[in-house]
Amino acid sequence: MLDRAIVRVLPVVPRSVVRRISDSYIAGTTLPDAVRVVRALNKQGKMATIDVLGEEVSNRREALEIVQAYHDVFEAIERERLDSNVSVKLTALGLNLAYELCRVNLLRVVRHAAESGNFVRIDMEDSSTTTETLQLYRELREDGLDNVGVVLQAYLRRTIRDIRDLAPLRPNVRLCKGIYVEPPLIAYQDYEEVRENFVRCLRELLQLGSYVGIATHDQFLIDEGTRLVAERGLTREQYEFQMLLGVRELAADRLVRDGHRLRIYVPFGEHWYQYALRRLQENPKMAGYVASDTLNRLFGADGR
Ligand SMILES: Cc1cc2nc3c(=O)[nH]c(=O)nc-3n(C[C@H](O)[C@H](O)[C@H](O)COP(=O)(O)OP(=O)(O)OC[C@H]3O[C@@H](n4cnc5c(N)ncnc54)[C@H](O)[C@@H]3O)c2cc1C
C-alpha cells in the first residue's frame, strides 16, 4: 500500500527531487556521463552494459536516433577502451511501429557491435513483446550473428519452454526475475515460486552449456547461482553476475572480491525522467525499494 501511495504522488514530486533520487540509478543525461561511470566501475573490477534511455519511440526518425546513439556508444567504448557492452530495448528500435523496421534497426546495431568485437544484449520488455523479441533473436542467430544475447524472465510460466525451444542455438541469456506487472495466467506471482523457477531455469541453461548472466540482487539467488556454477566446475569466463547501477553495492563488491565477474547495467540519456517515472509506475514494488534505499543512504543504515 505504501509502495502504491509513493507511486501516486510521484507525478507531483518536483523533477529536481526525482532527479536526486534517480541519480544513483542513472549515469546521467549524456554519453560522457556514461563513460565516466563505466570507467569508475571498470576501475573497481566491474564490467558494464550501457543502455541508451529512449523507450517507446513513436516514429521512424526517433528509432533511427536511437540507432545513431548506439553507434556513438560503440565508438566511445572503443576510444576509451571501456569494458562494456550494450543493452537495447526493441520498442526503442521501433518494435511497436513495425517488426521489419525493428529488425533492420537491430541488425544495424548488432553489425556495428560486431565490427568492434562488441556484444548486444536485447532487454526483455512486457509480455506483449516476448514472442516477437525471441523471434528476432532467433532470426539474427540463424543469420549467423553470434554477438547477440537475449533476456529471459523467471516470473513467466513460458520461460522454461522458451529455453527448450532455443536450446539448439545455445543462447547467451541474461536471466532475471522480470520487472513488469503481469497477470497470474502467464506469470508466477508468489515470491518463492519466482525464485524456484529462477533456479530451475538457471539449471536448465547451464545444462545446455549456455553463457548466463545471472541478473539479481536477491541474496538467496546469488548464493544459489554461486553454488550451481561451482557444482558444474565453470571457470569465471563461463558465466557472469549482473546488477543494476546503484543497487546493493556492498553485495556487488563482495561478488568481485570472491572472484566472480560482475556486470553493471548503466542507463543514461535525456529521457531519464520518463524512465524513472515509468519504471516506478510499472512496478510499485520498485518504489518501495527505492524509498527504503534512499532512506538508508540519508540515514546511513546498512541495508545494501
Ligand atoms: C542487470 C539487470 C538487467 C535487467 N534487465 C531486465 C530486463 O531486460 N527485463 C526485465 O523485465 N527486468 C530486468 N531486470 C530487472 C529484474 O527483472 C528484477 O525486477 C530486479 O532485478 C529485481 O529483482 P531481484 O532479482 O533483484 O530480486 P528482488 O527480490 O526484487 O530484490 C532483492 C533486493 O534487491 C534490492 N533491489 C532490487 N531491485 C532494486 C531497485 N530497482 N532499486 C533498489 N533496490 C533494489 C532490494 O533491496 C531487494 O530487497 C534486470 C535486472 C538486472 C540486475
pLDDT tens readout for residues 167-199: 999 999 999 999 999 999 999 999 999 999 999
Distance 208 CA to ligand 1 centre (A): 25
Of 72, 41, 62, 73, the C-alpha closest to 105 is 62
Beta strands at 212-215 and 148-153: parallel, antiparallel or unpaired: unpaired
Amino acid 301: pLDDT = 47
Amino acid 4: pLDDT = 66
Amino acid 302: pLDDT = 42
Q: How far apart are CA 151 and CA 156, in angstroms?
A: 12
132 in ligand 1 pocket by Cβ < 6 Å?
no
Residues 6+ apart with CB under 8 A from 174: 121, 149, 150, 151, 152, 212, 213, 215, 242
Amino acid 82: pLDDT = 98
Span 29-56, average pLDDT: 94
**What tens digit of pLDDT does each residue of 87-98 get?**
999 999 999 999
Of 303, 280, 220, the C-alpha closest to 5 is 280
Name the band, by pLDDT with cuts 50, 70 and 90, for residue 23.
confident
217 in ligand 1 pocket by Cβ < 6 Å?
yes
- Residue 299 pLDDT > 60: no
Amino acid 7: pLDDT = 65
Active-site pick, 141, 174, 248, 263: 174
What percent of the chain has a predicted confidence (pLDDT) above 70? 88
**Per-residue three-class SS string for 169-180:** HCCCEEEECCCC
Amino acid 2: pLDDT = 60
- Residue 17 pLDDT > 50: yes
Give catalytic status of residue 20 as yes or no.
Answer: no
119 in ligand 1 pocket by Cβ < 6 Å?
no
pTM of the predicted protein model: 0.93
222 in ligand 1 pocket by Cβ < 6 Å?
no
Residue 300: strand, helix, or coil: coil
Amino acid 303: pLDDT = 41
Residue 13: strand, helix, or coil: coil
**What tens digit of pLDDT does each residue of 147-174 get?**
999 999 999 999 999 999 999 999 999 9
Give catalytic status of residue 174 as yes or no.
Answer: yes
- Residue 300 pLDDT > 70: no
Enter the C-alpha cell of residue 176: 532475471
